Structure 1
Amino acid sequence: MSKYSNILFVFFAFAVTFTFGQEKEPTIPEATEFYEPVPPRVIPGKNNAAPSDAIVLFDGKNFDQWVSSVDSTTVKWHLNADGSMSVNDKTGNIQTKKNFGSMQLHIEWKSPAEIQREGQNRANSGVFIQQRYEIQVLDNNDNPTYTNGQVGSVYKQGVPLAMASVPTGEWNTYDIIFHAPEFSRGGNIVEPATVTLLHNGVLVQDHFIIEGTIKYIGWPKYEAHGKAPIMLQDHGDNSRVSYRNIWVRELD
């Protein structure tokens, strides 16, 4: 067999292997229809109420799902008659008793109607996912600040796509989709965390890749961890931020 014949034989063999190694194109519609797995039935809540499979973290009645982040004792924040809670200045952050991984989190917050201070000192708080990844809460209405620290930012990392706050003193909603980071057995980052945030129904973080633990000074970096609490911040400057209607759906 000549060298040209060898080349033709190899080419023919490759073509046959490639053709018969592929799946045949479906010829009936049923071939591309799936009946398993069957998604579970979830009953949606009305007016931002928790869906049927959610864990209600705060419904305005008590702090049963929360503890002080300072010493794990009873929460010292204010429980208000309107079904909200509000920061009690300099009593410290609060956090959930339960640990969470990937999640869908719904939370509503408002700044005081009476405007005090400016910049980062006006109604500053934060939603910390897994105690270390902060979604900034701030009154930015006519109150500019550094953009990776404004309302809706992943603090010191992700600038929001829009500023979607309602007027000062009215209730904002955050709907957060968070996918937890994955680490190797040796503690190295394998898959970084991501977050999607809708602020009052407006997309302001679009599958943002979190660069590591939030740092006020310095660059973020990852430290291996597992599931951890959701934490709400007492910024310590009489921010008087209020929260209500907090629920979560676990995604892992």
Structure 2
Amino acid sequence: MNKAKLVLTALLAGGFYMAEAQQTAKPEDTEIYTPVPPKVTPGKLEYKGAPSDAIVLFDGKNLDAWKSVDTDGPALWTVGDGIITVKKGTGNIETKQKFNNYQLHIEWRVPANITGTGQARGNSGVFLASIGKGDAGYELQVLDNYDNKTYTNGMAGSIYKQFVPLANPSLKPGEWQAYDVIWTAPVFNEDGTVKSPARVTVLFNGVLVENNVSLLGPTQYIGKPSYSVKHGASPIKLQAHGDKSEPVSYRNIWVREVGN
């Protein structure tokens, strides 16, 4: 067998091995359970308005700043009493406007009478950059973790399946909680390779849970994250997790562009 045939055989074997590995991978392969972040009791959350230079994404009145991810048409979640609530069967929603680097404030609440366990308990997510249909993007997890055990890189305050939160300042179901996020978008070279990765800092109910972490790539439910899609400015997306979870509500959403 000549050298060219040897190389071709090796490449084919490698490709077959990778395809086989992807087929046998399971969600559990990337779940982390220990150590468990320490429980922290946060200070009282006070409802505050947006800064003067902020772009208000939800003012309690309508979803004009949002659209359906699936259809590109109007966002169909429920609006009432100054809040947005996930409406099952309508899919994810995302902002019409795209962003690079920003400061984001968003408040969320799981129902007081919530049921279920683990990931099926108030499951939603804030995708800090939406880069396609469905759940494509970089997810900051939303979940009830006041007294609800799950894998630690899938709990509230985690960068889903990547970074475990430094603490667990979750409040009881039915209480409003807040994320304050500093997002630095990834930068790509012309050939699609990563020039600088995405970075994120997250305060959860005023407690630092992600400290300027460098992301390994967009969120992956199965397998390890990697930067396989070159992209620029992106929408912010909110997740409707489907029938697996109780409806989550959001309010007081604003963003400030930083250094774009």
Q: What residue is the counterpart of 1:203 in the other structure?
A: 208
1:9-48 equivalent positions in 2, closer than 5 A = 47-48=47-48
1:145-160 equivalent positions in 2, closer than 5 A = 145-160=150-165
Alignment match of 1:221 (pick from 219, 226, 230): 226
Q: What residue is the counterpart of 1:75 in the other structure?
A: 75
Q: Tell me how far apart the structure 2 counterparts of residues 231 and 134 of structure 1 sit (CA, whole Å).
A: 9
Any conservation in 1 of the 2:83–2:249 contact (CA below 8 Å)? yes
Alignment match of 2:188 (pick from 170, 177, 183): 183
Q: What residue is the counterpart of 1:234 in the other structure?
A: 240
Q: What residue is the counterpart of 1:90 in the other structure?
A: 89
CA RMSD of aligned residues (A): 1.0
1:22-171 equivalent positions in 2, closer than 5 A = 47-81=47-81, 83-131=82-130, 132-171=137-176
Cα deviations across residues 188-207 of structure 1 (Å, max 9, x unaligned)?
10100100000000000000
What is the percent sequence identity of the aligned residues?
54
Could you tell me which runs of 5 or more consecutive residues in structure 1 were left unpaired when the two chains were aligned.
Answer: 1-45
Alignment match of 1:212 (pick from 214, 217, 220): 217
Aligned residues: 206
Cα deviations across residues 104-140 of structure 1 (Å, max 9, x unaligned)?
0000000000021110010000000111110000001
Q: TM-score, normalised to structure 1's length?
A: 0.80
Q: Tell me how far apart the structure 2 counterparts of residues 47 and 92 of structure 1 sit (CA, whole Å).
A: 28
1:92 maps to a residue whose letter is G
Q: Tell me how far apart the structure 1 counterparts of residues 203 and 110 of structure 2 sit (CA, whole Å).
A: 18
Q: Tell me how far apart the structure 1 counterparts of residues 163 and 233 of structure 2 sit (CA, whole Å).
A: 22
Residue 239 of structure 1, CA deviation: 2.1
Runs of 4+ with >4 A deviation: none
Any conservation in 2 of the 1:125–1:239 contact (CA below 8 Å)? no
Cα deviations across residues 150-180 of structure 1 (Å, max 9, x unaligned)?
0000000000000111111100000000001
Any conservation in 2 of the 1:122–1:239 contact (CA below 8 Å)? yes
Larger radius of gyration: 1
Q: What residue is the counterpart of 2:8 in the other structure?
A: none
Larger RCO (alpha carbons 8 Å, 6+ apart):
2
Q: TM-score, normalised to structure 2's length?
A: 0.78
Residue 75 of structure 1, CA deviation: 1.3
Q: What residue is the counterpart of 2:251 in the other structure?
A: 244
Any conservation in 1 of the 2:114–2:246 contact (CA below 8 Å)? no
Q: Tell me how far apart the structure 1 counterparts of residues 47 and 155 of structure 2 sit (CA, whole Å).
A: 27
Could you tell me which runs of 5 or more consecutive residues in structure 2 were left unpaired when the two chains were aligned.
Answer: 1-45, 131-136
